[in-house]
Structure formats: C-alpha cells, structure tokens
Amino acid sequence: MSVRNRRGRLKPLSLMALAGAMLAAAAPPAEPAKPGSDLSLYSDATVVDGTGAPARAHQDILVRGERIVAVAPRGTIAGTEGARRIDLAGRFVIPGLIDTHVHLATPPDNAQAAAILRRNLYGGVTAVRDMADDIRPVAELAREALAGEIAAPDIYYTALMAGPPFFQDKRVLAVTLGVTPGKAPWMQAIDDATDLRTAVTLARGTSATAIKIYADLPPRLVRAITAEAHRQKILVWAHSAVFPTRPADVIAAGADTISHVCYLAYQVEPVMLAAYEDRTPVNEALLAPDDDPVIAGLYRAMLKRGTILDATGSLFVRHDVERKDHPEMRRLRCTGPATIRLTRQAWRAGVPISTGTDSVSDYRHDWPEVHDELFFLARDVGMPPLEVIRSATLVGAQAAGQARDMGSIAAGKLANFVVLTADPVADIDNIRTIETVVKRGRAYPRAAYRPTTKAEMGDGDDD
C-alpha cells in the first residue's frame, strides 16, 4: 500500500547540507567538506555511549556514510583527511532513542502516522517497535524511513497471533480490511488445528521482525508458537499475560520480550482471568507492600532467560492523573502506584527494561512520548540517568533485535545519535536540549522541526 504524497512531507537534510542547518540552529559552523568525501568528523563532544559506562569527554566520532568508523579522544583518529568537521565542543552526544511500543496504523491513518514519526525523529527517536497494526501501510512507512524519503525513525514491526475470540475485536476489522478476520498473514487466529509451521512462515513473509503473542491462548499454544518461531529464526514479543496464560507460563515459553509490567501482577491472582476480553483490574491488595515474593520469582526467571521487560509504565501513571479530572474514564488493569512498584522491583532485580510507550500525545505536544517513559523511569522508579539512557538505547536495540547495528555509540554501528546542549546525566530533563539528531548519517537539526498539526493528528481543521 502506498503512502506517498503526504502533505507537508519533510525531507531529511543530507550531511552535505549540515552547515547551513546548524547555522539556523545557532550551532558552531562546520568546516566545508572536501569534494567527493562521505566522511564526517563530529569533534570534541562528551559521549554517553548507551552501555551504562560513564560519559567520556573530548571525544571525536568519525562517520562514513551511514556508519560510525571510530570513536576516540579528540585528535587521535587516523584517516580523517577530507572529512567534513562539525565542532561539538560543549555538546553531549547520546545514542538515538528507541520506543519499544508504538502503534502506527490502528486504524490506518497515513497522515497521522507520518506526523507521529516526524515528531519522534526530531525528538531524538531513531527506531521504534510497532507492536501490531495493519502492516501494509506500516511496511511502506518502514521502507520510506529506511530510504530517508520521510523524516522518521526506522520501524521494526510484528505479525500478531491470538486465539479466535480476539478476532471479534473491532480493531481487527480496521487493520485487516479486505481479508477475513484471523486469516491475514499479519494477524492470524491460532487454535489446536493450526499448522504452526505454515502460520509462522506466513508471518515471516510479511517481513515482520517478530511474532507478537497477544491474547486468548492457552499455555500449550504459547509454548508451541514460541518454539516454532525460534526454530524459524524469528523473535517473539508477547504480552506479559496472554489470558488465560499466566505470566510465569509466558516467560517459561521463552518470549524474547514481554510487554506491560502491570500484567505481571495477575500471577498473584488465585484464579487467572479466562480471557483477554475480561478487563477486571488486578487485585493489588494481593501484592506484598514492597518487593512481592511471587513477582520476584518471575524476575528471577526473566533474568535466567534474558527476557526483556517492555514496562510501558508512564501510560498507567498518566491515566491515574487524567482520571482525577475525568472520573468517568474506565480503570486500567493497574494503578500508577502499583505500576511504579512493579517496575522498581524489576530494576532492583536487574531485569533489563526497555522504554515502550503504547500511547500517542495530541498535536499540541512537541516531544515524543518516549520522553515521558524516560521521566517515569528516572523520577518515579528512581533509576539513575545513565541507566535510563541505557534502557532507552541499548536495551531498546536488544528488544528490537537490532543491537548489532544500533543502541550504542561504537565503531561499526549505524550513525544514530543525538546532539544535546546540556548534560543528560546531570539531569534527565536535558534530553530535551536537542540541537541535532543524526540517523543513518543524515542530520536533522531540531530548528528544522515542523510541529504536528491538529489536522495531521486526526482532530479536524487547525484552530
């Protein structure tokens, strides 16, 4: 499905156009590039590399095309002759951020998706995990993002599998238009009669990065889907409770990442909800007041298997705040305080936590939703900024199955990084002092960002 001809498309700036853009952003001027050179030297920055290691001052980053060639102390990299030089003295560089839980096309709205992606990229996000949508338009967005035809993070998406009851959900009708619900290769109904080898092969044929195990599946099918997916070398991203499958069984099945820390609390329920469609909230009174021993057992199992937690915590905290002004809003499965407590216990246990959001802010917001997840981890959970940055970069890359190419600032990886004017380790709020975002070697100066509009975000004409 084509999603070309969007109104107001922003073309990315090439590295060859960086000097003019940086002047517009009141940044130091760059030295002119030598004819034919594809080298750029970002000089004298303080680098926070995303691994959790302390910041390193006075570092140079040499980029050739879309990849980092070398990172080393100022003036020590060989082979920089002819490189375009960008002076980053007094600046701080972190890896590009990764939002590990977005939905770009439920229902499909190409203008809105492009606007959300633009806001993400200019806010420092260089990759996202799309966690189940109509992947016909998402696949085209992913291609355009990869080619640099639109200002957008790279997109890694899922093909969903769930039990037959889920396919009565009205969202399914929106994202499988023209296909019998449950029969689309990107959204398949699974039961005991399903040929899983064929189902996984069909999912792989969509170019999905992973299979998402969503809802209404018993433990035996969660195990069987996961085993077949891994046999065919595709990742498995799952809800932390699949209903009626408990969290312990999802983890034991071997899912590579699990989403929603809140759902882990269903492990303490004496009777598990029989279906995803039952929205009964967790009985939080069953949780121990501090570190719950049942939840501790889940975290030990996750550590043993290397399972990543896509917490999506800020969503639940924010919902509590909104319900104070709008008590008619339905309760989510967990309160904000319970979500904070469960996430803090995961962090203290050493479970790797990525930064997923599962929400979209309206057109008046100038920053991507993932910033709220960083603030949640720092302010509510208590994680130090260095660890928060690692969650939003290297752990996010691991969750997306892309750690070989992104998530840290290192030789051989993609040139995905964010130039800040203030130290994010001193104060995580400084994540918003963005001067320039570099994605696959292309520079996107923050000064060039065009805010989302009411019309783009599906709210009618602009005021």
Say if residue 336 is in the same domain as residue 290.
Answer: yes
Give the whole-number percent of the chain exceeding pLDDT 90. 88
**CATH, residue 241:** 3.20.20.140
Phi, psi of 132 (to 5 degrees): 115, 120
The structure tokens listed for 442 are 């292309």
pLDDT average, residue stretch 399-428: 98
- The per-residue pLDDT for 458 is 84
Say if residue 225 is in the same domain as residue 137.
Answer: yes
Phi, psi of 122 (to 5 degrees): -70, -10
Output the average pLDDT for the chain: 92
Domain-located, residue 457:
no
- The per-residue pLDDT for 37 is 63
Say if residue 127 is in the same domain as residue 255.
Answer: yes
> pLDDT at residue 461 above 60?
no
The structure tokens listed for 103 are 């939905």
**Which has more pLDDT, 39 or 23?**
39
Say if residue 75 is in the same domain as residue 194.
Answer: no
Say if residue 110 is in the same domain as residue 85.
Answer: no
Say if residue 375 is in the same domain as residue 443.
Answer: no
Domain-located, residue 4:
no
Say if residue 430 is in the same domain as residue 391.
Answer: no
Q: β-pairing, 235-239 with 39-47?
A: unpaired
The structure tokens listed for 196 are 């899983």
Structural domain containing residue 254 = 97-399
Integer Cα distance of 61 and 84 in angstroms: 12
Say if residue 356 is in the same domain as residue 425.
Answer: no
Domain-located, residue 7:
no
Say if residue 140 is in the same domain as residue 263.
Answer: yes
Integer Cα distance of 287 and 284 in angstroms: 5
Say if residue 140 is in the same domain as residue 27.
Answer: no
User: Looking at 22-36, 97-111, 150-164, which range is the least confident one?
Assistant: 22-36
pLDDT average, residue stretch 224-251: 98
Integer Cα distance of 269 and 334 in angstroms: 13
With 0-12 CB in 10 A as exposed, 13-18 as middle and 19+ as buried, what is 188?
buried
pLDDT average, residue stretch 115-133: 98
The structure tokens listed for 396 are 């996010």
| Confidence (pTM) | 0.91
pLDDT band at 44 (very low <50, low <70, confident <90, very high): very high
- The per-residue pLDDT for 290 is 87
**Which has more pLDDT, 461 or 60?**
60
∠ at Cα 150 (147, 156), nearest 5°?
65
Pick the last residue of a domain from 364, 381, 399: 399
User: Looking at 13-22, 139-148, 401-410, which range is the least confident one?
Assistant: 13-22
Query: pLDDT per residue over 371-410, tens digit each?
Result: 999 999 999 999 999 999 999 999 999 999 999 999 999 9
Domain-located, residue 210:
yes
Say if residue 62 is in the same domain as residue 140.
Answer: no
Cβ contact 93:68 at 8 Å: no
Q: β-pairing, 235-239 with 84-87?
A: unpaired
Domain-located, residue 458:
no
pLDDT band at 22 (very low <50, low <70, confident <90, very high): very low
Say if residue 176 is in the same domain as residue 39.
Answer: no
- The per-residue pLDDT for 438 is 98
Query: pLDDT per residue over 272-319, tens digit each?
Result: 999 999 999 999 999 998 899 999 999 999 999 999 999 999 999 999
> pLDDT at residue 450 above 70?
yes
Give the whole-number percent of the chain exceeding pLDDT 70. 91
Q: How many domains does the chain have?
A: 2
pLDDT band at 18 (very low <50, low <70, confident <90, very high): very low
Query: pLDDT per residue over 334-369, tens digit each?
Result: 999 999 999 999 999 999 999 999 999 999 999 999
Domain-located, residue 330:
yes
Alpha-carbon torsion, ordered 311, 314, 319, 321, to 10 deg: 140
Query: pLDDT per residue over 208-233, tens digit each?
Result: 999 999 999 999 999 999 999 999 99
Domain-located, residue 86:
yes
**CATH, residue 71:** 2.30.40.10
Phi, psi of 239 (to 5 degrees): -65, 145
Length of the chain: 463
